[in-house]
Amino acid sequence: MYTSHEDIGYDFEDDPKDKKTLKPHPDIDGGWAWVMVLSSFFVHILIMGSQMALGVLNVEWLEEFHQSRGLTAWVSSLSMGVTLIVGPFIGLFINTCGCRRTAIIGGLLNSLGWVLSAYAVNVYYLFITFGLAAGKHCFGSGMAYLPAVVMVGRYFQKRRALAQGLSTTGTGFGTFLMTVLLKYLCAEYGWRNAMFIQGAVSLNLCVCGALMRPLSPGMDGDGPEGKAPHHVLPAHSTESIRSSGQLRDAEEKRGGPGTEDSSLGDAPAQACQEKAAHRKDMCAFRLLKTVSQLTMRVRKGFWDWYSGYFGTASLFTNRMFVAFIFWALFAYSSFVIPFIHLPEIVNLYNLSEQNDVFPLTSIIAIVHIFGKVVLGIVADLPCISVWNVFLMANFTLVLSIFILPLMHTYAGLAVICALIGFSSGYFSLMPVVTEDLVGIEHLANAYGIIICANGISALLGPPFAGWIYDITQKYDFSFYISGLLYMLSGKESTCQCRRHRFDP
């Protein structure tokens, strides 16, 4: 999405020489910017946190529907994958409707997906209502998630890495809170009623979307300052309508003898008819004008979206960015597979009692919070490159994935889960490194492509791990294969990134 100076936090100001100068927006790096961080934080809790806690529901679905692990895992992977895959298409909604309206509509669709899924009679029903959701749960999640990330990027310049880190800690908090909440609700009310309650909780996404105030007047078409200017019908138009009515009445008056006397008696009725006709003409004019403005907005939004992906300035002409996409295709599965399958792995190792006291997924979630904040602070230091922090965190995550299958005690698994949680904090740096590759003006489109690649990874990872278990009766090989693919895909992207850093 190509953005103007208003999009990235600058306003135009007239100088004495009638030249346009740039003035920083007062909300940049302060003021309402921190409200945006809070809004994005809760969006991450409600969307990404709840999706990372789907391992709880995965166990319930296995017991309810008696399907294979590979087939049942498709529900969770579709939920997480499609949410991210629709990222590029959400850019079209942002261009057309703005971040605020897009997020509010997404909150409504997300809630509807949870409620409809409570009526599931088999796994295939969940594929539609919870996985694909016919554009409801997953598409709604994507419509709320991408605006939350983009708006934080627009409101911050100096401390963008820290702001993204703080907002995305909602994923860790949400994973911990939603895991506990879903466990409690499933135990007390059953998984169907738990999904009903979760649907009601998800309506808070609409509140988060309402807080996404555009930076400048006219931006996004939201809010009292962001509304399209109200166009009043030109004076000559109203006069012409009135004069045409008067001429028509005058011709009727000249129709025959005695009409003058009768017209004097019918003057109030004629005045009412004139007002009614004038009001009808004004309503028709305003309706046509509104439809015309909406059509022009949709056409402009679609063209901006299309040119960003397929035009002459296409992002795919950037070799470094293409290598980054290739890495993202395999990276996210290494983080998602433990969340979906750890509850089942714990049962296989007979560690359920210890895991019930403090779930391993909660350990990942809590340490993930600290990882995002710490890595964000370190990356903002002037003496440290954000790319060095990003690459070191990736290396640690790959190493942890390789070691995880070797641990068969709760203490060993807890240590590795802590490493996975901390190193995966690099997700908060992804918008920053993406902006470094393509620039702030292309951030929305570029980040939409990145999360789309992550979505494909999340979509295929958990079912792949389930199929490996169905064949080998072990989860070990799924971690080895995913870690190997992660490492190989990162090789090319690392070379491109280093070339990008040292190019003059």
Cβ distance 124 to 140 under 8 Å?
no
- Average pLDDT estimate for 140-164: 83
Q: What is the pLDDT of residues 250-303, one digit of tens each?
A: 444 444 445 445 444 566 666 676 676 667 667 776 777 777 766 776 666 666
What is the number of alpha carbons within 13 Å of residue 265 lying toward its C-beta? 4
- Average pLDDT estimate for 146-165: 83
Q: What is the pLDDT of residue 137?
A: 56
As a whole number of Å, the CA-based R_g of the chain is 28
Q: What is the pLDDT of residue 132?
A: 61
Instruction: Quickly state the pLDDT bin for 211 (edges 50, 70, 90).
Output: very high
Instruction: Quickly state the pLDDT bin for 10 (edges 50, 70, 90).
Output: very low
Q: Helix or strand or coil: residue 212?
A: coil
For residue 18, with 0-12 CB atoms within 10 Å meaning exposed, 13-18 middle and 19 or more buried, which class applies?
exposed
Question: Of 57, 53, 68, 77, which is closest to residue 333 (Cα–Cα)?
Answer: 77
Positive/negative CA dihedral, 24, 30, 35, 36: positive
Q: Which residue intervals of 222-266 are DSSP H helices? A: 223-226, 235-253, 259-265
Predicted confidence (pLDDT) at residue 220 exceeds the cutoff of 70: no
Q: What is the pLDDT of residue 235?
A: 42
Q: What is the pLDDT of residues 462-484, one digit of tens each?
A: 788 878 888 888 888 878 887 78
Q: What is the pLDDT of residue 223?
A: 41
Q: What is the pLDDT of residue 308?
A: 59
Question: Of 119, 112, 108, 107, which is closest to residue 193 (Cα–Cα)?
Answer: 119
* Structure-model confidence comparison of residues 279 and 33, the more confident one: 33
Positive/negative CA dihedral, 187, 190, 194, 197: negative
Q: What totals of helices (H) and strands (E) does the chain contain, helices first?
A: 22, 2
Q: What is the pLDDT of residue 225?
A: 39
Predicted confidence (pLDDT) at residue 361 exceeds the cutoff of 70: yes
Query: What's the pTM?
Result: 0.64
Question: Cα–Cα distance between 86 and 77 in angstroms, integer?
Answer: 14
**Residue where the block lists tokens 């499609």:** 82
Q: Identify any residues that bridge with 14 across adjacent strands, giving them in sequence order.
A: 20
Question: Of 233, 245, 247, 234, which is closest to residue 271 (Cα–Cα)?
Answer: 245
**Residue where the block lists tokens 């309206």:** 101
Q: Helix or strand or coil: residue 261?
A: helix
- Average pLDDT estimate for 377-398: 85
Q: Contacts for 18-25 with beta carbons within 8 Å, 24 or more apart?
A: 25/215, 25/216
Question: Cα–Cα distance between 244 and 376 in angstroms, integer?
Answer: 68
Q: What is the pLDDT of residues 72-130, one digit of tens each?
A: 878 877 777 777 777 777 877 887 788 899 999 999 988 988 998 888 888 888 888 87
Predicted confidence (pLDDT) at residue 430 exceeds the cutoff of 80: yes
Question: Of 217, 144, 475, 164, which is closest to residue 339 (Cα–Cα)?
Answer: 475
Predicted confidence (pLDDT) at residue 9 exceeds the cutoff of 50: no
Q: What is the pLDDT of residue 62?
A: 86
Q: What is the pLDDT of residue 67?
A: 84
Cβ distance 364 to 339 under 8 Å?
yes
Cβ distance 92 to 305 under 8 Å?
yes
